[in-house]
């Protein structure tokens, strides 16, 4: 029986920048995570200004080394090899929606137009890029691979506070996605899978808990929409 090789912690998938010192890795990790957390807790108008900066900084540091698409997990062959993950994610999403319907917690997706849904999926791909190509390589140079996966998942979940349902879900998905990337290394597949599962989560968990999937300061600015009362009610009320 042929066993698929496991990518070592010194492979291009995790260790793109071998010349980095531990101090530099730690500084880059801390700076990027702190910048992301600060942006998440800024008002929306400030996020539009400082958000792109916080995301651009890690991307610049990643591409400064001119890594290959294979090292980044952006290759077509890797996408095809990991493609089986998407049907699995779709099946899990369908199962989740079915169970939510049975439990009576399913509801319509907030802003289900193509712009918002497409933008969300693009954002999940960007999240996987940051997680797998920025945070994981630096963590694995500082600690063991298993430890790096655990810390990366923890950081990923903390970024979703104070949204408790999302924090728990991203803690699990963060660890799973990092472990999958270790073997299959496809940012696109993991990002799309996260998008599918995230949309499923959005329609299965009541917004009274999920707050339209908002995190950071936006979570506390959530205001539930007031549903218009049916005309029959107005008739009985004498209006």
Peptide bond preceding 162 in cis form (omega within 30 of 0):
yes
Give per-residue pLDDT as tens, 14-31.
Answer: 444 457 899 999 999 999
Measure the CA angle with vertex 107, ends 125 and 172; round to 5°: 40
Task: Give mean pLDDT, residues 72-100.
Answer: 97
What does the block give as tokens for 210?
């999920």
Per-residue pLDDT at 232 exceeds 50:
no
Cα 50 to Cα 39: distance, rounded to the nearest angstrom: 6
Handedness of CA 127, 32, 146, 7 (dihedral sign): positive
Per-residue pLDDT at 46 exceeds 90:
yes
Task: Give mean pLDDT, residues 81-99.
Answer: 98
What does the block give as tokens for 222?
């959530």
Q: What is the average pLDDT value for the chain, to the nearest integer?
A: 89
Q: Which of 10-14, 33-37, 38-42, 145-149 has the lowest mean pLDDT?
A: 10-14
């Amino acid at each position: 029986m042929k066993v698929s090789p496991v990518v070592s912690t010194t492979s291009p998938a995790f260790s793109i920048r071998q010349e980095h010192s531990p101090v530099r890795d730690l500084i880059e990790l801390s700076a990027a995570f702190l910048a992301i957390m600060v942006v998440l807790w800024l008002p929306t108008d400030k996020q539009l200004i400082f958000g792109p900066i916080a995301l651009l900084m890690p991307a610049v540091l990643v591409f400064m080394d001119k890594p290959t698409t294979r090292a980044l997990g952006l290759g077509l062959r890797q996408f095809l090899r990991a493609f089986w993950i998407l049907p699995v994610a779709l099946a899990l999403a369908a199962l989740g929606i079915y169970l939510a319907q049975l439990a009576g917690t399913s509801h319509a997706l907030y802003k289900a137009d193509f712009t918002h849904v497409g933008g969300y999926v693009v954002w999940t791909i960007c999240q996987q890029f940051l997680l797998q190509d920025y945070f994981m390589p630096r963590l694995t140079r500082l600690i063991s691979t298993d430890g790096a996966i655990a810390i990366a998942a923890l950081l990923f979940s903390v970024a979703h506070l104070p949204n408790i349902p999302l924090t728990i879900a991203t803690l699990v998905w963060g660890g799973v996605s990092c472990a999958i990337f270790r073997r299959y290394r496809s940012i696109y597949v993991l990002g799309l899978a996260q998008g599918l599962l995230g949309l499923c989560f959005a329609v299965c968990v009541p917004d009274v808990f999920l707050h339209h999937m908002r995190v950071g300061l936006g979570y506390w600015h959530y205001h539930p929409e007031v549903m218009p009362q049916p005309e029959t009610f107005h008739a009985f009320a004498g209006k």
